[in-house]
Amino acid sequence: MTLQTKTELVSGHCFQQPICFSGQQLMWAGESAQDWMARSEGSACYVYDMAVARRQVEQLRSQLPDSFDIFYAVKANPNPEVLSALEAVVDGVDVASIGELERAMAAGFSADQVSFAGPAKLVDEIERTLALGGHLSVESLIEMQRVISWANHNQQQVAVGVRLNPQFQLKASGMHMGGGAQPFGIDEEQFADLVALVKASPLVSISGLHIYAGSQCLQLDALVEQFRQSLLCFKRLSEEHQLTVTKLNFGGGIGVPYFPNNKPVDLVEYGQAIRSIVNEHQAFVVDKSIILELGRYIMAEAGVYLCQVTDVKSSRGQLFAMVNGGMHHHLANSGNLGQLLKKNYPIVVANKMASEAAERVTICGPLCTPLDVLARQLEVPKLDLGDIIAIFQSGAYGLTASPNQFLSHNSALEWVV
């Protein structure tokens, strides 16, 4: 079997790591798409190739100073086998619910590798996290009062982090979960009130600062600027309030190329820029752990979603291919997970990799709503029933970010290699 590779599709979509095919067949995680479909016995499926995720982590790590920790944001893909595989390669996890915390610990992460941030934590979630010894990012005055109550009640020392909503705001696409009025974190302007509360409580201290400014950012200058501004904010607040923080969490947000002409972030340039900022502030960062918590960057490209053509029909001159998958499995790909513009993901006919495009088709799932569209006006080889549609960049914010119960269809299967 001779393998060929592609780093770009004719549609203008590109990949960070090449995809492989043999003759007409897409190969994924060591098997053909046809074999994965056969195994799935009529269900659509996700296949995650953890070698790709490992390489993503290694490529980023190799560009960053040794003192950096790379955390995995569980909400991107909480599959238990995915978490187990990542346990060996990342330094910790970002979780946003007690359920995610439990999944991470079941996969082998220890409580002290867990950072819990989330905008509406339940009292029970706060208390269980503290009891386990996980690291909390507190996001409001009331949350801090709950931490203090727990510490007093249990007569136990607690060190927590604080998630900030900084004053700075970045206009870049993807970067819009910090600055302005936000339900996430506590405004920088209110930080003094939070510190006053903590200073009156001998059992509680602030040991970490955290800013998560947004997701899916492909602009190098915006990512670097976000890092610089966050560091300046951490430094300013630590000095102003004489805090001894040991953890600085810079959030996630490195994007992946989903759409035509998207280019991946140049990690060499990113690493150089980050190093120079860190060097500039060496005295402040030297004794602290610096955390990046990434979801999409680590998992998106590791996952492909596969489904099969069940019907082909035309309507008033347009061709429609119906498939056994849809937005109930893959909401993000249908363009309904917050996207403003509905553009096609990188998509191929996985059993016709060497064939020329011959027709334009709109690919639709089985849900009775016009939203259930997996690709619009996609150029494909002549389609036949049973052809396999492969949607790349599907490993993050896929199955568990989709309305699985809507219309009571079967779930997609997940295979982890």
Ligand X SMILES: *Cc1c(COP(=O)(O)O)cnc(C)c1O
Which residue numbers are catalytic?
A: 368
Angle between helices 98-106 and 80-87 (to 10 degrees): 60
Residue 263 burial (CB count, 10 A): 11
- Between 11 and 215, name the residue whose CB sits nearer to ligand X: 215
- Between 218 and 412, name the residue whose CB sits nearer to ligand X: 218
| Nearest distance, CB of residue 185 and ligand X, angstroms | 9
Residues that bind ligand X (CB under 6 A): 73, 75-76, 94, 96, 117, 212, 215-216, 251-253, 293-297
Residue 181 burial (CB count, 10 A): 6
- Between 11 and 226, name the residue whose CB sits nearer to ligand X: 226
Contact predicate 48/303, CB 8 Å: yes
Nearest to 272 by CA among 223, 229, 212, 230: 223
Contact predicate 330/403, CB 8 Å: no
- Between 137 and 344, name the residue whose CB sits nearer to ligand X: 137
Residue that has been written with the tokens 């799932």 in this structure = 365
Rounded to whole angstroms, the Cα distance separating 85 from 56 reads 13
Q: What is the dihedral of CA 309, 81, 112, 267, to 10 degrees?
A: -60
| Cα–Cα distances in angstroms (integers) from residue 277 to residues 58, 204, 274, 282, in the given order | 21, 31, 5, 9
Outline where DSSP puts E strands in 74-203.
92-95, 114-116, 135-138, 158-165, 186-187
| Nearest distance, CB of residue 338 and ligand X, angstroms | 12
Rounded to whole angstroms, the Cα distance separating 40 from 34 reads 10
- Between 271 and 295, name the residue whose CB sits nearer to ligand X: 295
- Between 83 and 323, name the residue whose CB sits nearer to ligand X: 83
* Cβ-Cβ contacts under 8 Å for 154 (sequence gap 6 or more): 131
| Nearest distance, CB of residue 253 and ligand X, angstroms | 5
Amino acid at 333: N
- Between 43 and 215, name the residue whose CB sits nearer to ligand X: 215
| Nearest distance, CB of residue 21 and ligand X, angstroms | 28
Q: How many CA atoms lie within 13 A of 37 on its CB side?
A: 22
| Nearest distance, CB of residue 214 and ligand X, angstroms | 7
| Nearest distance, CB of residue 202 and ligand X, angstroms | 29
* Cβ-Cβ contacts under 8 Å for 400 (sequence gap 6 or more): 75, 77, 78
Residue 286 burial (CB count, 10 A): 9
Rounded to whole angstroms, the Cα distance separating 365 from 286 reads 53
| Nearest distance, CB of residue 241 and ligand X, angstroms | 23
Q: What SS3 state is found at 77?
A: coil
Q: What SS3 state is found at 270?
A: helix
| Nearest distance, CB of residue 251 and ligand X, angstroms | 5
Nearest to 380 by CA among 33, 10, 1: 10
- Between 296 and 330, name the residue whose CB sits nearer to ligand X: 296
